[in-house]
Structure 1
């Protein structure tokens, strides 16, 4: 069954256009999810909005959005007012320019989508755009309304197609000094730096997503299977607490282990 498109419209570069669709490239639907259950009855629970002061349930028709302007004070917005404020969408992914992929810091990447041609009449234009971008080694920047918001999108080539990454706005990215200001500046040199470089070289590898297991999901699946079968659940062994060690000694030991591992692999 063909995947359901998240968005359909036109990809436009100057006067060149082709009909395209966006399809979710990543999904969490296969993750194990839980329902909230009443322990006494075994029945599922449902969420309900209640008035914070009276505690009474509020009917759906009386539920509106509000923005807090001061403590306990809100500007109320109706669905119609919000809808009218959303930019109109002409369903056009308009490319404003091209740039090197490395020009955009990956911290701005939001969600990835496959961008595919949707009609036979647009396949030639789609292929022309893809091959032109591949030949020049560039990505495209475009904007359109996605999910009721104006979004900036970076488009790059990927195999026989294109991938579109929605980008975070500048105001959505927190300043790095919030995390890094308390880290002292230290100069690392001499044997310590040489050992660190040696470890990095001996541990060099490539990225293969198939090699990385989601141990949390696997553990949950085993736990559910065991409980469903009525087996006794044994708690997992807790990892030993990390000991404070001499940094230079740890580097030397790590370098020796890395070199030994590399010799084994080569042999």
Structure 2
């Protein structure tokens, strides 16, 4: 895992440049390049790709870039640059798809609950477009439903984590007996055990809302990236593409 391969190097550079630009221009960068809910006026089709290069802070980008180097480099060495990039961006796009699909579910659940109670749909939309809400909504639909409704519309997604989770799955399937060390556990854990547990914890947090890894994390984007990574690996293995390099 010592050498920085070609695709990894360029991905690191682009992510760091975006992070520096975000540090300088802040809100404008988040408005342009984060992944917003498609019904939000800030949404742009390019954000499906650009959000993978945006990060919410130093620890966020540091963790993602370390994981990209540590787990992505062996895959690029095995597959070649083009195949790795195809896999990486496909997992990231899959993560965005799942994340957006879940947001549509939350958004429609909350909106339908409010409209079915007798509120006018246009009035509700006018309120949330202004970044506001009515406290009475919580009496109609409950805290979780309204929080998820507002969060789906107002909270953009940033980060390479979805693509990284796809890379983690590919690494675990390619090098299942590799031993990984965690900061909070002094014993090594094989990749074939650690990675499924990590994804399972994300799924648990997404379904229950219990923030094992903290708040403000797009758990379903992680799960989506892992799912698409698994599906690609399964398909490649079934069709004997996994050993082919795309140089």
User: TM-score, normalising length from structure 2?
Assistant: 0.24
The structure in which a higher percent of residues are strand is 1
The structure that has the greater radius of gyration is 1
Greater relative contact order structure (CA < 8 Å, 6+ sep): 2
User: TM-score, normalising length from structure 1?
Assistant: 0.22
The structure in which a higher percent of residues are helix is 2
